[in-house]
Amino acid sequence: MRDPFFLSDTIGIFDSGIGGLTIWLEIKELIPHARTIYVSDNQNVPYGEKSRNFITQRAERITDFLIDSGADIIVIACNTATSAAIKHLRKSYNMEFVGIEPAIKPAAEQSANGIVGVLATKGTLESDKFKKTRNQYANGVEVIMQQGKGLVRLIESGDWDSDALHENLNENLYFINNRGVDTLVLGCTHYPLIKEQISRIIGPEVLVIDPGKAVARQVLRKMKKKMATETSTAQHKFFSTGSAEPLLKTLVKLGVNAPKVENVNL
């Protein structure tokens, strides 16, 4: 039965963990009257190490939960899950889905020297969707790919100024200056949470791009015809399949007052 709290103007959002909150923030800013329901599948984080079939099964279970909760549109706030499951979900459900893909097109357009770096998970970089996007939009541009090994787990820990995270970033971002990259695409929704730390290492001269605002605009376009902008009251619910602590800590860091996270078994 649909939750009466979410009977209209509700945006469902899910990710393997806290990374999708970067998309949630952009949506909340652009569509301040919308209601949201966010699911962190942190019992299975990170998705980047999982098989395509596993991720698709998780996406189905979470989608079922979001629909039962009253979602009018679902945002797959995870690059890896988008690559693995969005095509299947669109075929299987009568529901609007908005996914995430690395922002190669704007990066290629804005790069001054034609050398673009992409920092992403293994699952994203090896996906057909990523390869298709790269081939379509990176003509005449060199795209250097780097797998962010271990980054998601470190970000999920909540200690974004730890020595371990700093060492990991130094290792993963070495290619930026070494290969002359002038534009960096953040190809995982977790990474914008540490955008400040990334910028400190690569320097202000490297343009950093993430797709958050573009995703929010896409959600607005899809919802515009049916959103009751004058009557909706912005309310937000958060669920976690594992420990609630990472989500709670991150919401507080993002300025959410007294957030509540419910556990859900999916």
User: Measured between alpha carbons, how far is 219 from 222 in angstroms, rounded to an integer?
Assistant: 5
Q: What pLDDT score was predicted for residue 232? A: 59
SS3 10: strand
Angle at 261 between CA 260 and CA 262, to 5 degrees: 125
Q: How confident is the model at residue 139 (pLDDT cuts 50, 70, 90)?
A: confident
Q: How confident is the model at residue 234 (pLDDT cuts 50, 70, 90)?
A: confident
Does a cis peptide bond (omega within 30 degrees of 0) precede residue 204? no
46 and 117 in one domain? Answer: no
User: Measured between alpha carbons, how far is 67 from 107 in angstroms, rounded to an integer?
Assistant: 34
47 and 124 in one domain? Answer: no
219 and 184 in one domain? Answer: no
Annotated active-site residue 231? The verdict is: no
67 and 188 in one domain? Answer: no
Q: Which residue has the higher pLDDT, 73 or 225?
A: 73
Catalytic residue among 118, 120, 188, 223: 188
218 and 96 in one domain? Answer: yes
204 and 125 in one domain? Answer: yes
Q: How confident is the model at residue 49 (pLDDT cuts 50, 70, 90)?
A: confident
197 and 112 in one domain? Answer: yes
What domain range includes position 226?
4-100+213-263
27 and 79 in one domain? Answer: yes
228 and 176 in one domain? Answer: no
Mean pLDDT over 165-176 rounds to: 93
Strand order in the sheet with 10-15: 96-98, 73-76, 10-15, 35-40, 236-240, 261-263
Q: Which residue has the higher pLDDT, 178 or 227?
A: 178
96 and 108 in one domain? Answer: no
Flag whether pLDDT at 7 surpasses 50: no
Q: What pLDDT score was predicted for residue 218? A: 93
Q: Are 193 and 21 in contact (CB under 8 A)?
A: yes
Instruction: Specify the CATH number for the domain of residue 20.
Output: 3.40.50.1860
Query: Which of 176, 195, 210 is the last residue in one of the domains?
Result: 210
Catalytic residue among 27, 62, 77, 78: 78
142 and 64 in one domain? Answer: no
User: Measured between alpha carbons, how far is 135 from 240 in angstroms, rounded to an integer?
Assistant: 36
Annotated active-site residue 33? The verdict is: no
Mean pLDDT of the chain: 91
68 and 194 in one domain? Answer: no
Prediction pTM value: 0.90
Q: How confident is the model at residue 231 (pLDDT cuts 50, 70, 90)?
A: low
Flag whether pLDDT at 266 surpasses 70: yes
Q: How many domains does the chain have?
A: 2
